[in-house]
Amino acid sequence: MQVFNTFFKVLKKKKTALVIYTVIFLVISFVLASGSETRDQFKESKLKIMVIDEDASAASKALTDLIGKKHTIKEKTSDDDELTEKLYWTTIDYALVIKSGYESNLVSGSTDDLFGEYHVRENYSTAYMTTVLGQYVKTARAYLAAGKPLDEALSATADTLSKDTETIYYEKSDGSSEDYSNEFSTYFQYMPYILLAVLMSVLGAVLTIMNRKDIRFRTDCSCTKPRSATLQIFGAAVVMVLGIWLLYMVAGIFLYGGIYRGIAWLAVLNSLVFTIVAASISLFIAGLGLEENVFTAITIIVSLGMCFLCGIFVPLSVLGEGVKTAGRFLPGYWYVVANDMLKGAEPFDAGKYAGCIGIQLGFAAAFVMLSLVVKKSRKRETTA
């Protein structure tokens, strides 16, 4: 077990990176968890909307009332400069103009030009309001088309949209989400970065040292079988990788004060699979036998690059299609897709989850195969 024991002696000298990354990760996770929005806070987080009602009809008032139930209606202003200033300084998030002729156009079905809007930049508020208004108009038109009089149609629309909201709220409060709370999902959201950074800089560094050409030469000259030396290194790497993963799992429990339950175990499994992926990437890069500074640069590029492309630092929902397409060719993307399902960002589908796990394992297998190819070609170079 000489090689196995020495692996950990070398690891001991490389632990600084592990400690630094882990401490920073845990501190950031704690801060994010403390400041993360819960569903209750989300309810209280209303948009500040100014409604400029140019139609002043029953229909426009009904819409204004409905908006007022969910958001804060701000006093309107007719001065364009003042409006721009309020939007700029976010005194209001969004200004809605209900155009003259709104009611008649709604009844007649000419819904193309019912509203105007003021906003400083494209953001969640504008996207949200566009969706809500579109939904409102579609629903109202459906009731009108069904033959309901205007007042009844508007009332029914308000009821329907309120029920929809309740339904959504109900869906978000099911057992699965309770088991995988917002805190947990935040912790697991950023885990790929820490796993990549730690495993590449620690495991990768130790493997590079253990397989250094001159060290390996001495080992190969000895009466220790090369296969035994390789197996001892592999065994030590497995112990180390599992140890680091367990450390983060236990830290998760301590940080958030509870043991994982139900669907949270699927997040734990997802993280274990990604740990295997990160280890295989480390194995591959360590096998290239790069200089230390090049190795460090690659570690940073791979870990940060994957995190930005795969929706780890920025949610997938706001990433452009091009970025998402590129992300699909990286294992981190599939980790995030699985995690998003678990935290309820999209409906949970067991088959899709299994697919994400399978794809990640496929990436791990591919990197291991690549490592073997690199090892073989380097051996050929050495003996040539």
Partner 1 sequence: MADTVVKIENLVKRYKDLIALDHLSLEIKEGEVFGLLGPNGSGKTTTINCLLSLLAFDKGSIEIFGKEMTPTSYDIKREIGIIMQNVAVFEELTVYDNIDYFCGLYITDKAERKKCVEEAIKFVGLEDFTKFYPKKLSGGLLRRLNIACGIAHKPKLIILDEPTVAVDPQSRNKILEGIQELNRNGATVIYTSHYMEEVEQICTRIAIMDKGHKVAEGTKEELKKMIKNTETISVEIAEPSEEITKEISELPHVYKTEYAEDRLTVWCSGGKHNLIRVLGVLQKHDLHIGRVYSELPTLNDVFLEITGKALRDKED
List 14, 46, 48, 119, residue binding partner 1 (CB under 8 A): 14
Specify the stretch interacting with partner 1 by CB under 8 A; choose among 9-17, 129-137, 238-246, 327-335.
Answer: 9-17
Rounded-to-integer distance, Cα 246 and Cα 219, Å: 32
For partner 1, the closer of residues 201 and 275 by Cβ is: 201
Specify the stretch interacting with partner 1 by CB under 8 A; choose among 94-102, 145-153, 216-224, 315-323.
Answer: 216-224
For tokens 């460090």, the residue is 296
CB 61 within 8 A of CB 86: no
Rounded-to-integer distance, Cα 60 and Cα 75, Å: 16
Is 10 one of the binding residues for partner 1 (CB under 8 A)? yes
Q: How far is the CB of 308 from partner 1 (least distance, A)?
A: 32
For partner 1, the closer of residues 27 and 215 by Cβ is: 215
Is 172 one of the binding residues for partner 1 (CB under 8 A)? no
Binding mask 16-45 for partner 1 (x = CB under 8 A): ------------------------------
**303 closest CA partner among 28, 295, 362, 371:** 295
Is 222 one of the binding residues for partner 1 (CB under 8 A)? yes
Is 384 one of the binding residues for partner 1 (CB under 8 A)? yes
Rounded-to-integer distance, Cα 144 and Cα 111, Å: 13
CB 281 within 8 A of CB 196: yes
For tokens 């940060």, the residue is 304
Q: How many CB atoms lie within 10 A of CB 378?
A: 16
Q: How far is the CB of 243 from partner 1 (least distance, A)?
A: 19
**For residue 113, what are the contacts with CB-CB under 8 A and spacing of at least 6?**
99, 105
List 2, 16, 84, 377, residue binding partner 1 (CB under 8 A): 2
Q: How far is the CB of 2 from partner 1 (least distance, A)?
A: 4
Is 138 one of the binding residues for partner 1 (CB under 8 A)? no
Q: How far is the CB of 208 from partner 1 (least distance, A)?
A: 11
HSE value, Cβ hemisphere, 13 Å, CA-based, for 85: 7
Is 218 one of the binding residues for partner 1 (CB under 8 A)? yes
Q: How far is the CB of 298 from partner 1 (least distance, A)?
A: 20
Is 223 one of the binding residues for partner 1 (CB under 8 A)? yes
List 225, 261, 328, 376, residue binding partner 1 (CB under 8 A): 225
Q: How far is the CB of 229 from partner 1 (least distance, A)?
A: 8
Is 291 one of the binding residues for partner 1 (CB under 8 A)? no
How many residues belong to the site for partner 1 (CB under 8 A)?
23
For tokens 């819409």, the residue is 63
List 75, 78, 80, 221, residue binding partner 1 (CB under 8 A): 221
Q: How far is the CB of 18 from partner 1 (least distance, A)?
A: 14
> Within the chain, where are the H helices?
2-13, 15-35, 39-44, 58-70, 80-88, 102-108, 124-145, 150-172, 175-179, 182-198, 204-210, 213-221, 226-256, 264-287, 292-309, 321-327, 331-342, 350-383
Tell me phi and psi for residue 97, to 5 degrees: -105, 115
List 181, 182, 219, 299, residue binding partner 1 (CB under 8 A): 219
Is 383 one of the binding residues for partner 1 (CB under 8 A)? yes
Is 131 one of the binding residues for partner 1 (CB under 8 A)? no
Rounded-to-integer distance, Cα 305 and Cα 322, Å: 15
**132 closest CA partner among 66, 72, 41:** 66
Length, in residues, of the chain? 384
Q: How far is the CB of 222 from partner 1 (least distance, A)?
A: 4
Report angle CA 60, 64, 66 to the nearest 5 degrees. 115
For tokens 């704690």, the residue is 30
Contact positions toward partner 1, by CB under 8 A?
A: 2-3, 6, 9-10, 12-14, 209, 212, 214-215, 217-225, 383-384
